Amino acid sequence: MKQIFPRQISDQTVTIPGSKSISHRMLICAALSAGTSNIKNLLSSRDIDLTMHALSCMGADITKTGPDSVSVTGFSGCPRPYDPPVFLENSGTSMRLMAGIAGLGTTPYTFTGNPRMCTRPMKELLDALNQIGIDAGSDTPQGFPPVTIQGKSRQGGVPVWTVQKAASTCPPCS
C-alpha cells in the first residue's frame, strides 16, 4: 500500500479542463486543504454551484474571481458545523460526494433535494459509511434523501484483505 504523507507546498494556481466531474473534485480538494487555492476553467453548471454551496456551508470560503475561476480557502479537512439541511436540488454527484465529506466532521449534516432527488437511493453509500464508523442514515429503508451524516473519530489503515494489520488515528476536528 502506498503511503501518502502531508507536506507543505508553495502557493499554486491550478487550471483544470471544463469538466463537471473534475470541477466537483477540484473544488472538494481545494475545500479540504489548508490555505487558498485558485481554480481556473471551472465548469459553469447548476451542479457545480450546488457543490460550491455545500462546501461553503461546511466552512470553505469560495469567491468567484472571474467568469470561470474561483478562489477557495479550505477548512483543513475539518468541516465546520452547519445545522440547517443542505439543499442539493437534483445533483446526485453533489449528494454523494458531500456525504463522504460530511463524515470528516464531528457534527451532523443533513442533505436533501427536490422531489426527484428524494427518490434516488443512497443505501449502499450510507451502509459503506456506517462500516467505517460514521453514523449515516435516512428515514427510509432505501436510503432516500434526506440523509443525515454524523462524523466522528475515524481510523485509517490498510485494507482488510492484506495480512498485515496497521492503522493510524485521525485526530478529531476542533
Task: Render each residue's pLDDT in the chain as its tens digit; 174 residues.
Answer: 788 787 787 877 776 667 899 999 999 999 999 999 999 999 999 999 999 999 999 999 999 999 999 999 999 999 999 999 999 999 999 999 999 999 999 999 999 999 999 999 999 999 999 998 899 999 999 999 999 999 876 655 555 544 443 444 444 454
Q: At 160, list the grid cell.
A: 482488510
**Residue with the three cell numbers 470560503:** 61
The DSSP line for 31-58 is HHSSSEEEEES----HHHHHHHHHHHHT
Domains annotated on the chain, with CATH: 13-153 (3.65.10.10)
Tell me the β-bridge partners of 122: none
